[in-house]
Structures are given as C-alpha cells and as structure tokens.
A and B are shown apart, each in its own frame.
Chain A
Amino acid sequence: MSESKRTIEVLICDDSPISRSLASTVISKLPIPVGINTAGNGKEAYSYLIENKGECDILLLDINMPEMDGIELLREMKKEDTPLPYTIVMSADNVKRTVVDALSLGAKDFLNKPYTKTTLQEKIESAIKSLDSA
C-alpha cells in the first residue's frame, strides 16, 4: 500500500490545449500526489517517453492528433519494444475501430470524448489501483 503514496507521473498527450488543461485540472484534483506532463502530439509524447524511460506511470493519449497520432505512437512503442505506461486512449465515440486497435496495441483502457470529470477520475483511479497491484 505504500506504493500509492509515491507520486504518480501522468503524461497527457492531446493536440488541443483546452483538452490538455481540462484533463490536467481534473487529474490534479485527485487526492493523491500526481506529477503532470503534457505533449501536443504523438512525436512529443514519444520523445518524452524515450527520455524518461520507465518514469511515466499513466499515459492519457488522444487518438486524433497531427504529426503522429495515438495509434502511430502505440505502434512505434511496440516496434521499439519500449515499455508502455498504463495507457488510456481518448477518442470521439464514433471511432470504435481505432479504440479496438489501441487496446490491441497495448493500451489498457479507453475514454470516450467528451468525458465527464468523474469518468476521467475513475479511470485514473483504476489505473493507479492496477499499477499498485502489479
């Protein structure tokens, strides 16, 4: 149980600055110490994850992004055999297939946009629970 006392590192990867700040606000309100980093596209997220190997616990990943989208990032991580953080993919409701692909590529959970504060918090909490039990 002492595990959960440490700071949980979250990387929010979304091309929309509003979405990013929205997610960080919601996550930072959780009653646990969280460190939040953001990335504006898959490329940024990729370099962050390479640089901070193993540091990031949770990746909140938007699927539709310019440069490198969420799926491409997951593919890249898989190809490089880089350990993936507990990844929650976010997408609009009408792209079921991409979510299926993301889960097949190692994402652990998904979140339909637009999401509510509670849903996001629940997803993060269950991610932390799953990280602790691992």
Chain B
Amino acid sequence: MHKLGWLRVPLIGTYAFLYIPIAVLVVMSFNASKNPFTWTGFSTQWYSALFNNDLIRQGFVNTMIVAVGATILATILGTLLAIGVARYFRSTVVEAYSLAPAIIPDLVLAIGLLAFFSLIGVTLSLFSVLLAHVVFGMAFVAAVVIARIGQTDSSLEEASRDLGASAFTTFFRITLPSLAPGIIAGALLVFTLSLDEFVVTYFTNGPTTPTLPIVIYSMVRFGVTPEINALAALLLLVSFTIVISAQRITRLTDSV
C-alpha cells in the first residue's frame, strides 16, 4: 500500500463511490420512519412487511421458478458447449458465437426475442422468460468452463481411454469431476444473473407473472418506500453471497 502514493485517491474514491450508495440503501431499510429519507430509529418492520406483501411473495416464487429452471438448463447446455468448443472446434469464430449472448446488448436480445416469440406463436409467460434466460446464462457458463478447460490437463482423459474406459465412463468419471469447480461457479453466476435480470424479462414476460425485478420496477416508478429498501437489501445480500462463493470455488481450486 505504501508505494501507491497519490494513487490511493482514485482507489479509495472508487470504492467509496461503488459502496456508499449500497450502504445507504441497506441502512435506510432499517429505518423506523415511513419517510424513506429521515432516520428516526432502528426497526425491522419493513422486513416483516415484505413477507406479508402478496405481490412480493408471488414475485419471489416466479423468480425462483425461472432462476432454478434457467440454471439447470443453462448449466447443462453451457458445459457441453464449452467442451465442444474448447476440445473439438478450436475455432475463435465458434467460440465468439457461443459467448455472443453474454455480450449482445440486453435490449437488442429482448426485442429480438419478443419479435421471435410473437412470430412463432409462443405466449409470453414464465416459460418464455425461462427460454430467454437460458440463452445468456448458457454463454456465461460456457465462458467459465472454457477458462477451466484451459487450466486442466487432458492427459488424464487420454490415460483413461488408453486403459480401456469407454468414452461414456471417461466423461463422467474424469472429464466432469475435473471441470466441476468451473461448472459450479458458472451455475451460481447464472442463478444470480437470472435472479436479477430485468430488461429481457420485461420484454418476454406475460402480464400476470411478474418476477421480483419487475415488481421492484413497478414499485420504484411510484416512488421510494422503505419496503423497497428492505427487499433491495435482501436481494443484495443474496447476490453478494452467491458471487463471493462462486469466486472462492474457482480460486480455491486454482491453487490445487
């Protein structure tokens, strides 16, 4: 730290800029007052209010359905895709195509899917949201697993085949376990992404099945309430926990 000199200013400034808004939000979620701007005392009443809010409860259930479904599908497809791209294609074009859903602007993907679903006659519902989340989720899993494949040694698999194991056995006994940290980290990231996704959901969802971000959006448009603060604080906690775990899983195994 001592060598940084004046560089400490942007470093500390940036972290303050990134975290103060979040901190204010979390602090205000414990405010006793109904006025979201003036602190009058500590209270957890807004958290209990959340559990009694039907719209939020319904949003939570919908969000979990999509997030769990998208995570399962995206993890399977993304892992297979990563193996196919890294081991059998070795082409930068195919790799770029596989990762494109993670880079394409969300609004473009959203309107494209809206147009596509209406053209082929898919009714907008949680199912169409799920299909949409899988496409970008898969790209994130593929990115993490491709990175993992780059770090692993394929000689174990060759040894397994040479010793007479079938391709099937080799895949489940050697390939998958060696990629497991990448796959788990990828799955955790998709889960968080899906949980927090707003733009694509907003365009591909039906009117009767709001997810939590959609609920938050409609609440925020009407103004600031301490209830939103509490919900926001909880979602932040969930995302932070998941992302830090994903990071630890990939890093722990890097040193092995």
Binding partners A and B: no
